[in-house]
Structure 1
Amino acid sequence: MVTEQAFDLLPFTAALDAHGDRPAVMTDEQVLTYRELSDRVEDVAARLRSARRLVALRAGNDLGSLVGYLGALRAGSPVLLVSTESGSSDSVMAAYDPDVILGSDGSDPVIEELRAESRHELHPELALLLTTSGSTGSPKLVRLSYRNLRSNAYSIAEALQITPDDRAATTLPMHYCYGLSVVHSHLLRGAALVLTDLSVVDPCFWDLFRARRATTFAAVPFTFELLDRVGFADMDLPHLRYVTQAGGRLAPEAVRRNAELGRRRGWDLVVMYGQTEATARMAYLPPHLAAAHPEVIGIPVPGGDFRIDPVPDLPAGELVYTGPNVMMGYALEPGDLAQGHTLSELRTGDLARRHPDGLYEIVGRRSRFAKIVGLRIDLGQVEKLLAQDGMKAAAAGSDERIVVAVEDCPDAVAGADLCPDPDPDADQNSDAAARSLAQRLGVPRGAVDVHSVPELPRLTNGKTDYGAVLALGGARSAPEPASGSEGEAPRMDPVRRIFAEELGLREIDDESSFVDLGGDSLSYVAVSVRLEQALGQVPPDWHVLPVERLAALADEAPSGRKWLGALDTSIVLRALAIVLIVGTHAKLFDLPGAAHVLMAVAGFNFARFQLSGDRAERLTRQLRSIGRIVVPSVAFIAVAYLLTDAYSPANIVLLNALVGPETWTTEWHFWFIEVLVYVLLVMVALLAVPWADRVERRAPFTFPLVLFGIGLLPRFGLLDPGVPHTLPVLWLFALGWAIGRADTPVRRLAVSVLAVLTVPGFFGEPARDGMIVVGILLLTWVRAVPVPTGLHGVLGLLAGASLHIYLVHWLVYPQLVGIHPALAVVASLAAGVGYWALTAHLPRTCRQWITAKGR
């Protein structure tokens, strides 16, 4: 037992009358002094003081709830604080079976005594039980002591410099720890509470705010959205001194905007950070730093301290808080109410970093990650990506899928009917958003589920209800428009959906194949990875099989996901080759030759994807494929030219291999892309000739072998191709083309022999020549490589972004290689994937914008 009544040490309950006749509570109808409030609180305490019992309070923002809460604390009874809403609060009440139930008729508390003595064993320091954010309806409660409440009230009052002249409007529910801390800290300093349950979107709230000369209010991020909608920036609030923000991350641009607004209008914005487990708040950002450092949470509140512990496999560490406001521990059942302190520090679960100036920044959440096909997806980052596109969204997820709710009327005031007409294209927009997001994240389209909702689901404290978001994923696995409706696509099975989403098609002919539908080597990666998930094992010739046949294979596929699955060899080679190229350039290791393997892979894919249809169709497909190489290359090299002095205008137009310097300089960095484009253009020109087109069709294997023979002339120095310092590669491209046409073991053996005979001596370096031979033999004989399914997404991402990684790495790795080559490699890969995501997303955004402008 404690030697002193711990509850007598709560000055905001035990010493209310010390503030005499100062105003304590203001409503729209009355003003209650501290002396009057103390008398009412004592009346409740006297009734409850006969025995220490568990008191449950259904708390609203009204005088009766406030008096009942303070009275129970003064009586020394632990309070279980729940909302006035039934359902979730009912389940908590049933789980903990309180001895006394407190309610309110608005102005007075209503007491229902169920027992004269408690049926529970209550620890003497236990003061308050609160539900955690997101656990509404769960029996899991936070156990807070009298010391927790007292210390945090002092910390907040000191951090905010609360004075007796302050008057705080109750903009948040009292059962929410943040809203409750406003009550504690202001009553501690003899300040007044402007007690109301009106929303900030209600004009009556602002009438009351002005009439009671309120000086402050608390806000969560959602509050600022509402404030923007009701014209807060133009309001005349002469007595407003400061606004606090907590309850979730406010976007840096919103922090800066509101901080600057406050500076102009004469009030401060105080960004804060906390959790229920720390009795509300742990950190605050001094207001004068908000505009300059809008991304940070600031410094610990007085009496608290932070440290950052490393987290395996994550770049940032976990923020750990110590201080007298750290909870006693959790309660999962009534028996836990007898426990004392089980914690000395709080592991927040937030990932953070400390700035050199001592300010802390939250960069993620350990539990806000989903692992999709082996990739860790930061759900907070998903929301940021969509916010950049102008979408107000909430993302939840599991290891199977990411579920996103997108508000389809973001400019409407909550509760107002300002968006009565649903968007007729909502399903199409959600589908387009899901497809774009999947590409940007590098995950299969089927792993992303986007739902358009009238308003994001929220908990009673204003935070996003991520449980409700995740539940949206149970409604459907992907958008399925009803069959037969005008303008809508028919229902699609998984295979047809994959083809439609990745190739941007609304109708899929049963007899068409991937190649027939315009698929190429770039879209092949994404489709192949998703098909492997749908079919379990992808046939080696799936790209030429009719969609109807693939759909039948999907129906026959066994349920359940295997840990090991086959992945197309060309995808694996592209992914490994780009890693080897970047790693060799950064001197992490020395394994050259991968770029020439990629040239053979390019010829292999040319044979598979560019040679179907009639001559006009081939020409269109080939030119489109070249464009997908040229456009991002020219755009990036132009930027590189402007930012550095390493390149020339010839690089921008991909002509350096023809007109550039004969000596090797940085201007030769992009030789692979230049020569690949030359080879492809030559092939397009050649096959545009009718007789060449006919010959290729009649002798599909012999034709590339003839080109291979021609390519051997410069390979062995018998012919000068006029392209210095690139080591002629037409023969490798043609060899890959021949591999793509080698449909029998004899033909595969023939190209293997040709590779073994012609590659050695190419560089005069056995290791490099060996790398090329091994890559070509794998491409020839191994159609699919067994790979753990968890790596499919990663390899698919690297393969799909290989061109962009090759471009970007020339600018990235030199900046970091001095720190560590591994860092240089990882950063180059990440930057390349980012550029790939940008170039994949930008055209869609432009098309959507053009479409929207045309409506």
Structure 2
Amino acid sequence: MNLPARLAQIAKQLPDKEAYVFVGERCTYRQLNAAVSQFADGLAQLGIRRGDHVALLLGNSPQFVIGLYGALRLGATVIPINPIYTPEEIGYILQNGDVKAVIGLDLLAPLFAEAKRRLPLLSHAIVCETPQGKEKAVPLTEEMKTFAAVLAAGSPEFTGPELADDEVAVILYTSGTTGKPKGAMLTHKNLYSNAQDIADYLGINEHDRVIAALPMFHVFCLSVALNAPLMNGGTVLIMPKFSPAQLFALAREERATIFAGVPTMYNFLYQYKEGSADDLRTLRLCISGGASMPVALLKNFEEKFNVIISEGYGLSEASPVTCFNPLDRPRKPGSIGTNIKNVINKVVNEYGEEVPVGEVGELVVRGPNVMKGYYKMPEETAIALRDGWLHTGDLARMDEDGYFYIVDRKKEMIIVGGYNVYPREVEEVLYSHPDVVEAAVIGVPDPDYGEAVRAFVVTKNPELTAEQLIAYCRERLAKYKVPTAIEFLNELPKNTTGKILRRILKEQFVASRA
């Protein structure tokens, strides 16, 4: 079984059920499945074949869903790309990913034209027309086709080839925190199994209405808020982009039952004064992932909105989910939960040996969701996949009940005078201060201790001083963990999913001292 085949099944079982809602537009499973077949056939008529690579440079939209499932039904491999990446970043992925066709916004048409001149393998550009593009009169070349034209050319009866489980369905390029982005190859089995296991674990069914506010080109939204509900006949409430005001309105008007977001989103929702528990009264579950959620934020959000947050864990290389806090057992704030169905997590030392309960080590994962490898990167694949286990690079511990806790990224641990300091531990203390909105902690060079702890904070109290916050930390942390300096910022750097980027803060700090 695979994603497009399961969509066809659901379309037969629940043809008139709403598959998605987008800015008032409603689409049934029958209509979605027909559009997916039409688009797949339209791609085939352009010469796109099974195994060809098709890039998606789109935001949250029906075109993203139809483009994704249509390319998969044809047997092509999809490469989702953030459409606001720089031309250099997009160009690297198009070249490294051996992309044959691009599906993107008309605003990117000049970029496609330039890319076609430099990349001989790139033969087709399919553009989605937007009001902004029409307003700017973006010129389309003769070689470009519109999304609507490709869709109209296809037949809704198109079925596509039988797909093998181990064929690569999607290549997700990681954020490249350690250099150039790496393309994680996810097979049809990887994606289908994780979507189905997420749906089973969280009890997602045809009655659920799931808000997709995270970017669909990111694996968190792709699997949790798109694929998982579509596997069981749920309805996806597509938001073009995240906005607290619009999310509260959408949840209220469409009677949403599930929301998936990153901690920054929950922080924005919590800080939004006009939002109320009544807006979210139909939610049965909130899901958090993408980064560790500060316990203080989790408790404050749940108290204000009277809804449970289930924190989980995942990474692109695992399609992505490996853990969630269970719904049928006690939830542990600060934990990423327990193994989801069919997936095993464990904590190991540098020799790959499982460490005792409570000890910190690297989190490793095994299951049908684990990637095939990195595209054209055999050495990096061999480092990440060892003895059947995916090495995540995250430091974690497991308690006596089998709940896992992320301590921090291996590469972001701070060593002060030989003592290990985990940034998250310091951030948790900072977040517990009533005037702190956001916080991030990094290690900076120190002539005496090797490294020192430095914090960056966004506050809602302009009178709060660094000295006051340091004193607050001193009462709650061991001396070597206390920040030696705190800098106040208007906002912290984040990626497109809202994850705070410590590495950017570190780069900016280094540049300021150069």
TM over 0.5: same fold? yes
Q: Given the alignment of the two structures, is residue 406 of structure 1 paired with residue 465 of structure 2, yes or no?
A: no
Equivalent residue, structure 1, for 2:311: 271
Residue identity opposite 1:98 in structure 2 = V
* Aligned pair partner of 1:304 in 320, 329, 343: 343
Deviation at 1:128, TM superposition (A): 0.8
Identity %: 27
* Aligned pair partner of 1:452 in 483, 488, 493: 488
Q: Which has the higher strand share?
A: 2
Deviation string 1:293-320 (CA, Å, 9 cap, x unpaired) is 2132221111111222235899423222
Equivalent residue, structure 2, for 1:322: 366
Higher radius of gyration, 1 or 2: 1
Secondary structure (helix, strand or coil) at the match of 1:326 reads: coil
Output the CA distance in 1 between the equivalents of 2:315 and 2:330.
21
Q: Given the alignment of the two structures, is residue 20 of structure 1 paired with residue 15 of structure 2, yes or no?
A: yes
Deviation string 1:391-421 (CA, Å, 9 cap, x unpaired) is 432123366645745234448xxxxxxxxxx
User: Which runs of structure 2 are paired with 1:60-99 in the superposition (5 Å)?
Assistant: 60-87=59-86, 88-99=89-100
- The alignment covers a number of residue pairs equal to 440
Equivalent residue, structure 2, for 1:386: 430
User: Which runs of structure 2 are paired with 1:538-577 in the superposition (5 Å)?
Assistant: none
* Aligned pair partner of 1:467 in 482, 485, 503: 503
Relative to 1, partners in 2 of residues 1:465 and 1:63: Cα closer, same or farther, differing over 3 Å?
same
Relative to 1, partners in 2 of residues 1:288 and 1:252: Cα closer, same or farther, differing over 3 Å?
farther
Relative to 1, partners in 2 of residues 1:258 and 1:159: Cα closer, same or farther, differing over 3 Å?
farther
Deviation at 1:163, TM superposition (A): 1.1
Secondary structure (helix, strand or coil) at the match of 2:512 reads: coil
Output the CA distance in 2 between the equivalents of 1:284 and 1:252.
16
Deviation at 1:211, TM superposition (A): 2.5
- The answer to whether the Cα contact below 8 Å between 2:421 and 2:481 also exists between their aligned partners in 1 is no
Secondary structure (helix, strand or coil) at the match of 2:233 reads: coil
Residue identity opposite 1:276 in structure 2 = S
Residue identity opposite 1:472 in structure 2 = Q
Residue identity opposite 1:154 in structure 2 = Q
* Aligned pair partner of 1:282 in 293, 298, 322: 322
Relative to 1, partners in 2 of residues 1:250 and 1:23: Cα closer, same or farther, differing over 3 Å?
same
Relative to 1, partners in 2 of residues 1:364 and 1:335: Cα closer, same or farther, differing over 3 Å?
closer
Q: Given the alignment of the two structures, is residue 149 of structure 1 paired with residue 182 of structure 2, yes or no?
A: no
Query: Which consecutive residues of structure 2, in runs of 5 or more, have no partner in the other structure?
Result: 105-127, 132-145, 151-164
* Aligned pair partner of 2:391 in 329, 344, 347: 347
Output the CA distance in 1 between the equivalents of 2:511 and 2:267.
28
Equivalent residue, structure 2, for 1:205: 247
Deviation at 1:258, TM superposition (A): 4.2
Residue identity opposite 2:491 in structure 1 = E
Deviation at 1:135, TM superposition (A): 3.8
Q: Given the alignment of the two structures, is residue 251 of structure 1 paired with residue 290 of structure 2, yes or no?
A: no
Q: Given the alignment of the two structures, is residue 167 of structure 1 paired with residue 209 of structure 2, yes or no?
A: yes
Secondary structure (helix, strand or coil) at the match of 1:358 reads: coil
- The answer to whether the Cα contact below 8 Å between 1:410 and 1:455 also exists between their aligned partners in 2 is no
Deviation at 1:444, TM superposition (A): 12
Relative to 1, partners in 2 of residues 1:335 and 1:358: Cα closer, same or farther, differing over 3 Å?
closer
Relative to 1, partners in 2 of residues 1:402 and 1:85: Cα closer, same or farther, differing over 3 Å?
farther
Output the CA distance in 2 between the equivalents of 1:343 and 1:109.
44
Deviation at 1:377, TM superposition (A): 2.6
Deviation string 1:9-35 (CA, Å, 9 cap, x unpaired) is 643455453231111111223111111
Output the CA distance in 2 between the equivalents of 1:384 and 1:238.
28
Equivalent residue, structure 2, for 1:31: 26
* Aligned pair partner of 1:105 in 122, 129, 133: 129
Secondary structure (helix, strand or coil) at the match of 1:294 reads: coil
Output the CA distance in 2 between the equivalents of 1:475 and 1:13.
50
Secondary structure (helix, strand or coil) at the match of 2:64 reads: helix
* Aligned pair partner of 1:214 in 220, 232, 256: 256
Deviation string 1:419-453 (CA, Å, 9 cap, x unpaired) is xxxx6x89xx45886799799665699x9564321
Which one has more relative contact order, counting CA pairs under 8 Å at least 6 apart? 2
Residue identity opposite 1:100 in structure 2 = A
Deviation at 1:212, TM superposition (A): 2.2
- The answer to whether the Cα contact below 8 Å between 1:129 and 1:144 also exists between their aligned partners in 2 is yes
Residue identity opposite 2:493 in structure 1 = P
Output the CA distance in 1 between the equivalents of 2:296 and 2:472.
24
Deviation at 1:138, TM superposition (A): 2.9
- The answer to whether the Cα contact below 8 Å between 2:362 and 2:392 also exists between their aligned partners in 1 is yes
Secondary structure (helix, strand or coil) at the match of 2:99 reads: coil
Residue identity opposite 1:246 in structure 2 = G
Query: Which consecutive residues of structure 1, in runs of 5 or more, have no partner in the other structure?
Result: 1-5, 113-122, 412-422, 479-855
Report the aligned-residue RMSD. 3.7
Deviation at 1:384, TM superposition (A): 2.7
Relative to 1, partners in 2 of residues 1:134 and 1:233: Cα closer, same or farther, differing over 3 Å?
farther
Relative to 1, partners in 2 of residues 1:457 and 1:194: Cα closer, same or farther, differing over 3 Å?
same
Output the CA distance in 2 between the equivalents of 1:460 and 1:200.
13
Output the CA distance in 2 between the equivalents of 1:246 and 1:164.
23
Equivalent residue, structure 2, for 1:356: 400
Output the CA distance in 2 between the equivalents of 1:62 and 1:95.
26
* Aligned pair partner of 1:187 in 230, 233, 247: 230
Residue identity opposite 2:82 in structure 1 = S
Give TM-score scaled by structure 1 length: 0.47
Deviation at 1:48, TM superposition (A): 2.5
Output the CA distance in 2 between the equivalents of 1:247 and 1:386.
20
Deviation string 1:831-850 (CA, Å, 9 cap, x unpaired) is xxxxxxxxxxxxxxxxxxxx
- The answer to whether the Cα contact below 8 Å between 1:169 and 1:217 also exists between their aligned partners in 2 is yes
Secondary structure (helix, strand or coil) at the match of 1:476 reads: helix
Residue identity opposite 2:24 in structure 1 = E
Relative to 1, partners in 2 of residues 1:14 and 1:64: Cα closer, same or farther, differing over 3 Å?
same
Secondary structure (helix, strand or coil) at the match of 1:386 reads: helix
Secondary structure (helix, strand or coil) at the match of 1:68 reads: helix
- The answer to whether the Cα contact below 8 Å between 1:139 and 1:332 also exists between their aligned partners in 2 is no
Output the CA distance in 2 between the equivalents of 1:317 and 1:334.
25
Deviation at 1:238, TM superposition (A): 4.1
Deviation at 1:330, TM superposition (A): 2.1
